[in-house]
Homo-oligomer: A and B are copies of this chain.
């Protein structure tokens, strides 16, 4: 490792310059006017990987933006790791809120400012630089690597699912490393081993053929907003538990070990409240905030609309009302089963006075790598060496679509190693990544490749 670390430390200037070059591509996947920029970015990346010594480097087309694939499979008796990242970025707008142009990277007080620097160019590029070190110093990697850098993460990885299904053999590996998350605290190495799943629903209620006057009809005409309010209120009980029948049946309960790990995290609840301007947190009785955030299901109404919502008063009993909600699932809830149960329950909650329609579907499954998985101690050891700190184990409350895709198609353990600090403004103006974290990320990636050599997948 000494030569590797030495190489990385003596080439920081060059690596930073290359990262700057990468972030100068406005590879905004959502914008039609940037289609060419996205393609140029993919080409640049592929050429760079080719130059380092990776084999089978391809810019693989999809119906949308292309996927950059590369591999190196010459390490016999070593595991194969699929590394996932994305080279597309969020739109930079509103531009006037940036302190420096989003596609002209700039360092101020130790932070690199650029769109995509943290999400995700500065993260996957750390792996690329670690591989460069191995190729240069040793002529080989410690393990087999497959690299999949997609161009549509910020638009929901629209074409990734079909791509992965179609290229299962190509992508087959022993585990997946995903670097597209954040550290739990700045500089704190973080192993994220679980996500929540997602189901989305829309309730549409209709009680009459037309809006009615509240003078002539108030007191006997059913009001769809009242009915909707009662249905929403009925979706949770007094303990904050979701009342959909059998909803908790397949929920993986937290182990005492996880509870202890969550409780030990450097988490300041009062600071979080202040930051988001909230008076009080609520939720399911008997669980801590981090438990509720990462390991318990949640149901949130995302929007509601009915009747007159302008300025002033309109004495109307509306004919229709609508609400949208999402349910965050935890392992091992089946999204399809939950959606069907929610739909049946809502249809049953709606009184005869209302026509109800429940639409929606599955947004992704929850994912969990069991804490006992033998790959985790190796990853922890690698991070400990790179960051000189014991890594923490976290989950995320969000739903990462690509995890569903990978876990359904490839049935591999997936581990998320975040190399960006929290509050990096990933989807906001002035996105930034601490310069030092980029260098540490490359060393962490080098340690990961090194440590995983000793892993013997079952």
Contact = CB atoms under 8 A, between A and B. Distances in A.
A216 B313 contact: no
A279 B353 contact: yes
Contacts of A397: 215-219
A129 interface: no
A146 interface: no
Interface stretch (A10-18, A226-234, A373-381): A226-234
Given A305-B309, A398-B215, A300 B324 contact: no
Contacts of A215: 196, 198, 328, 396-399
Interface string A341-357: 00000000001111100
Contact of A219 (B223, B292, B304, B354): B292
A226 B232 contact: yes
Interface string A14-39: 00000000000000000000000000
A142 interface: no
Given A304-B309, A307-B304, A220 B292 contact: yes
B210 A277 contact: yes
A102 interface: no
A353 B278 CA distance: 7
B298 A302 contact: no
Nearest to A323: B225
A84 B212 CA distance: 27
A169 interface: no
B324 A303 contact: no
A279 B352 CA distance: 7
A454 to B, nearest CB: 35
Contacts of A310: 303
Given A220-B283, A292-B219, A296-B219, A313 B200 contact: yes
Contacts of A321: 304
Contacts of A281: 220-222, 353
A208 interface: yes
A80 interface: no
A225 B235 CA distance: 12
A236 B227 CA distance: 11
A353 B282 contact: yes
A222 B315 contact: no
A363 to B, nearest CB: 7
Interface residues of A, number: 79
Given A302-B316, A328-B214, A220 B322 contact: no
A278 B232 contact: no
A159 interface: no
A283 to B, nearest CB: 4
Interface in A346-402: 351-355, 360, 363, 396-399
B222 A282 contact: yes
A284 interface: yes
Given A208-B277, A215-B196, A226 B398 contact: no
A264 interface: no
A309 B280 contact: no
Contacts of A220: 281-283, 289, 292-293
Contacts of A306: 301, 303-304
B280 A302 contact: no
Interface in A173-232: 196, 198, 200, 207-210, 212-223, 225-226, 228-230, 232
A326 interface: yes
A122 to B, nearest CB: 21
A443 B230 CA distance: 52
The 7 closest A-B pairs by CB, nearest first: A209-B277, A215-B398, A219-B298, A303-B307, A218-B298, A229-B232, A219-B292
29 contacts: A200-B313, A208-B276, A208-B277, A212-B276, A214-B300, A217-B276, A218-B397, A219-B284, A219-B328, A220-B281, A221-B278, A222-B279, A228-B304, A229-B233, A230-B232, A233-B234, A279-B354, A280-B353, A302-B307, A303-B309, A303-B316, A303-B318, A304-B306, A305-B305, A309-B324, A313-B324, A313-B360, A313-B363, A315-B363
